[in-house]
A and B are shown apart, each in its own frame.
Chain A
């Protein structure tokens, strides 16, 4: 049975399946142009508004640490919300490490600029100070 007829019997729209690119690709490259775009019994051929986004080149994450004991972890305040809104959470994280993992050294740093600006100088500073890991927080 024709796939369109089968879908119609099931109460489904063929065009609804065009949401799946794999099915949509089976559409003819160009529909018959009757001048009114009405193709058989009130069937309409429409152009697809959707565009094809380009996928980003994949970049692997940095290798993880084998353990945290003896390591230095930077807790970096992104200053989301400005005016030290994140202080409390990072302070609580630092307190948790002190209580539960005292062999971990934690250092709190506040990112310069606002929460949407980069701070490459701080990342360099952390690397040069041989920081082992970073917890970046928080944003909402």
Chain B
């Protein structure tokens, strides 16, 4: 919102007042103005929620107070358009450089440093391994890249410039408890910041493919999604620290996730069980155009993570129950995380000879009502405008009666499958996670 307001003000010289909830206001006049736009956009604060409220409540908001200034709302808007600019609002040019962070912290005790790291928001509030010079030096042996190499500059939310080096990631890798051999994976993850944030309960999932899985001892078998493997746990935790320290995510300052998501503790870090895939089912990275010998890490982003609860029953084919559960998803994308035994049943008994065939079948068979589809705010926000512009099938779905059944996964390529697990139960998860382009781990060796 600040970017748009800034564009109108800067390019056309038209004064703007932006009206938003307290989170947007806080970010807009705080971190976003300081690090992104450079413009202290004038905001008024609107009480939340406004979506779904009756008109009488909205009228009350307009007749009530601006939550920023405490003045009556509409006079505050008038003031925002007419009150002369302050000295701060007239400032231009490059500001004085921020005080640089020192490379070393002052020497202190273990307890005090642990406290400092928590107080500065550098941890997930579990104890960390303190990044001493020799530990960081040992971590740096896990890559051929130089410590002072810039990994990325536009690392902050909305691309704010937060340049960081290989050494900074080594520091975080130590803190997370990583071994040097995990470091290329963690660097590849770091190369993909910023990670998506939202006021909703968005989360990420990490999927590792290729030879590195075995080289570093990642678990793609029994208990793969649990806290039962060092590499999976630690790499996932490292991503959380990268999100907080490198991207600069601070709840209430640069991020405002109302409930957030427990998956953010380790970002569902898994390695695909490529060896257990049925013949014809390709590993994720090969599906995405990489070679079998490439080691690739893929970040998925999504919200839903629905457990199959029990195992596959003889009297109801697995794709049927998967179909039923997928009706709860938004319809924009899906990723099935399934035990190899489920993949075997789907392949051997149900005839799905590839992951793509399963995606095609689910695309044709998952149904939900139009009302439920549009009732998801992510769908209405992102797909609604496409429907308004006449893009099919969304335009037709928008016109449909609420109880009309639609097939929300109109694009079978938006349905993915990752096979992982230990074959002790034919279980699976239906998620709405969407993969981004994977990053090469080999590039960071």
- Structural contact, A89 and B113, CB atoms closer than 8 A: no
Q: Which of B66-116 contact A (CB under 8 A)?
A: 74, 77-78, 81-85, 89-110, 112-113, 115-116
- Expressed in whole angstroms, the minimum distance between the Cβ of B196 and any Cβ of chain A is 11
Bound complex: CA of A31 vs CA of B384, how far in Å? Answer: 58
Interface size, B (range): 35 or more
Given A50, A63, A97, which contacts B13 in the complex, CB threshold below 8 Å?
A63
Consensus secondary structure, chain A interface: loop
Chain B, residue nearest A33 (CB): B133
Q: How many pairs of A and B residues are in contact by the CB < 8 Å rule?
A: 344
How many chain A residues sit at the interface, stated as a range, is 35 or more
Q: Cβ of B39 and Cβ of A61 under 8 Å apart? A: yes
Q: How far is the CB of B373 from chain A (nearest CB, A)?
A: 11
Give chain B residues whose Cβ lies under 8 Å from the Cβ of A135.
16-19, 77, 81
B10 to A: closest C-beta gap in Å: 6
Asked if A140 and B20 make an inter-chain contact with CB atoms under 8 angstroms apart, the answer reads yes
Q: Is the CB of A48 within 8 A of B103?
A: yes
A66 close to B82 (CB less than 8 A)? yes
Nearest chain B CB to A117's CB is how many angstroms away? 8
Shortest A17–chain B CB gap in Å is: 8
Binding site for B on A (CB under 8 A): 4, 13-19, 21-22, 24-25, 27-31, 33, 35-37, 39-40, 42-68, 73, 78-83, 85-86, 88-89, 92-93, 96-97, 100-101, 111-115, 117-120, 123-124, 126-127, 131-140
Using a CB–CB distance below 8 Å, which chain B residues touch chain A? 1, 3-21, 23-24, 33-42, 46, 48-53, 55, 58-59, 61-63, 74, 77-78, 81-85, 89-110, 112-113, 115-117, 119-120, 122, 130-136, 155-156, 160-164, 167-168, 171-172, 175, 199, 241, 245-246, 248, 374, 377, 379-385, 389
Closest 6 CB pairs of A and B: A82-B384, A137-B19, A140-B21, A15-B108, A82-B380, A56-B38
